[in-house]
């Protein structure tokens, strides 16, 4: 649970809203897809760093439920880039002992993407050191609806005797299952919003917004976010224990 990290200076779970690919490209008079291409390459750098990082869980918002509303050619290109990423980077995941997890509506993803996801998940399923979670076709509101539907089903078929009465009983129904809550949520490219991302799991997450567009976000920027996190006091509704500054 997130409250475990109350005394820790390093987040156990960092989630990133990788934003600004389109604007990065437009500024260079390139098609938006070139921004996505550069953005995907950037994920590789982060994964290399993850293997030696104290951050155990990294969750990346790669495609939202709302992103289907983009032009078809952009959606198709994004799905294609995702497939290429999985084909190319599965070796990196295996080499660095990173397990791949997925959150979001898997069924709506194209068949060839699902096949690649299945393959990489199979190949990395044993790894415990680090966990990369891709949020694909993800939206918190849909996640809540799915959880509610599954609870209703479990009640109907008798596998659950009473509706969950505590958060501990409810949270396994979310896509994130028993993964710890994000301690830190980073959003790149200057927007100060969370866009339907981990709304419940991030209830007590520290937020970090930076102006750098995702294609230019480096490991140094990532470390700056960790540094900012380390200086924060998380209180979870309690009273501050740090000395009063005068």
Q: What is the rounded CA–CA span in Å between residue 57 and residue 44?
A: 15
Q: What is the rounded CA–CA span in Å between residue 133 and residue 120?
A: 12
Active site residue 76: no
Active site residue 19: yes
Q: Token digits for 122?
A: 């199979």
Rounded to a whole number of angstroms, the minimum distance from the CB of residue 49 to ligand IPE is 20
Rounded to a whole number of angstroms, the minimum distance from the CB of residue 100 to ligand IPE is 17
Query: Between 190 and 219, how does the x/- string for binding to ligand IPE read (CB under 6 A)?
Result: -x-x-x------------------------
Q: How many residues does the chain have?
A: 246
Among 11, 13, 14, 18, interactor with ligand IPE by CB under 6 A: 18
Query: Could you tell which of ligand IPE, Mg ion, none binds residue 201, using a CB distance below 5 to 8 A set by kind?
Result: none
In angstroms, the first-to-last Cα distance of the chain is 34
Q: How far is CA 112 from the centre of its chain?
A: 22
Restricted to residues 38-57, the positions that interact with Mg ion (CB under 5 A) are: none
- Closest to Mg ion by CB, 48 or 74: 74
Rounded to a whole number of angstroms, the minimum distance from the CB of residue 23 to ligand IPE is 3
Query: Between 28 and 67, how does the x/- string for binding to ligand IPE read (CB under 6 A)?
Result: ---------------------------------xxxx--x
The answer to the question of residue 19 lying near Mg ion (CB under 5 A) is yes
- Of 21, 45, 67, 181, which residue is the catalytic one? 67
210: three-class secondary structure by DSSP = coil
List C-alpha distances in Å: 57 to 54, 115, 142, 152, 244. Answer: 9, 23, 22, 30, 33
Q: How many residues bind ligand IPE (CB under 6 A)?
A: 17
List C-alpha distances in Å: 10 to 49, 131, 167, 193, 225. Answer: 15, 16, 25, 23, 10
Which residues carry out catalysis? 19, 67
């Amino acid at each position: 649970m997130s409250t475990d990290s109350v005394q820790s200076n390093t987040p156990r779970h960092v989630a990133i809203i990788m934003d600004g690919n389109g604007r990065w490209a437009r500024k260079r008079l390139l098609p938006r897809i070139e921004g996505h291409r550069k953005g995907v390459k950037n994920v590789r750098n982060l994964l290399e760093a993850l293997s030696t990082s104290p951050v155990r869980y990294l969750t990346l918002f790669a495609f939202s439920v709302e992103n289907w509303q983009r032009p078809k050619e952009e959606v198709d290109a994004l799905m294609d880039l995702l497939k290429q990423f999985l084909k190319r980077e599965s070796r990196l995941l295996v080499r660095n002992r990173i397990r791949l997890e997925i959150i979001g509506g898997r069924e709506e993803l194209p068949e060839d993407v699902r096949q690649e996801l299945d393959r990489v998940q199979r190949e990395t399923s044993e790894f415990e050191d680090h966990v990369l979670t891709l949020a694909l076709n993800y939206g918190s509101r849909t996640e809540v609806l799915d959880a509610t539907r599954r609870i209703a089903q479990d009640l109907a078929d008798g596998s659950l005797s009473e509706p969950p009465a505590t958060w501990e009983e409810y949270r396994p129904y979310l896509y994130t299952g028993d993964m710890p809550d994000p301690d830190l949520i980073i959003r790149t490219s200057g927007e100060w919003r969370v866009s339907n991302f981990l709304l419940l799991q991030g209830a007590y997450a520290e937020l970090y917004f930076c102006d750098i567009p995702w294609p230019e976000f480096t490991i140094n920027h990532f470390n700056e976010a960790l540094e900012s996190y380390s200086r924060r006091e998380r209180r979870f509704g309690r009273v501050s224990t740090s000395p009063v500054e005068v």
